[in-house]
Amino acid sequence: MKKWADYLISAMRITEGTNAKLTAYFKVHQDKGDYIGAGVTWTKEEVLEAMKNGEAFLTIYKENNGKWKKGFCVQEIAFSHLFKRLDEKKEEKNHTVLLPEF
């Protein structure tokens, strides 16, 4: 199987901020090419740092048959905006990345 990206994001954890719900953690998997590595919890800052260092990220979703499905490319420019505040601008749902929570 061809490698999709350096790392794959399958879930997010939301925390309560001062006035908002914030996405603070992600379940990140290493893309091994032939298989997807086990998920490890990364902070939002760790993901951003890896992106700044040139690592590529994609979202992934588990299908009903248990296989992973390729999601969307996650770029550094959009990352902060998409995952910053989940309760901000809810009317712009087409710009929100929805991942399962863990």
Per-residue pLDDT band at 28 (split at 50, 70, 90) = very high
31 part of a folded domain: yes
With beta carbons less than 8 A apart as the criterion, state whether 36 and 53 touch: no
In a domain, 19, yes or no: yes
Does 101 map to a domain? no
Q: What is the pLDDT of residue 15?
A: 79
Task: Give the model's pLDDT for residue 93.
Answer: 43
Higher pLDDT, 1 or 2: 2
Q: What is the pLDDT of residues 32-85, one digit of tens each?
A: 989 999 999 999 889 989 998 999 999 999 999 989 999 888 876 566 555 654
Distance CA 52, CA 8 (A): 16
Asked if the structure places residue 102 within a domain, the reply is no
Q: Which of 77, 82, 35 is nearest to 60 (CA)?
A: 35
Output DSSP code: residue 64: T
43 vs 23 pLDDT, higher one? 43
The arithmetic mean of pLDDT across residues 20-41, rounded, is 88
In a domain? residue 58: yes
Domain that holds residue 34: 7-95
**C-beta of residue 46 within 8 angstroms of C-beta of residue 53:** no
Q: What would the two tokens of residue 20 be?
A: 């908002």
Provide the pLDDT for residue 79.
65
Residue 17 maps to a domain: yes
How many domains does the chain divide into? Answer: 1
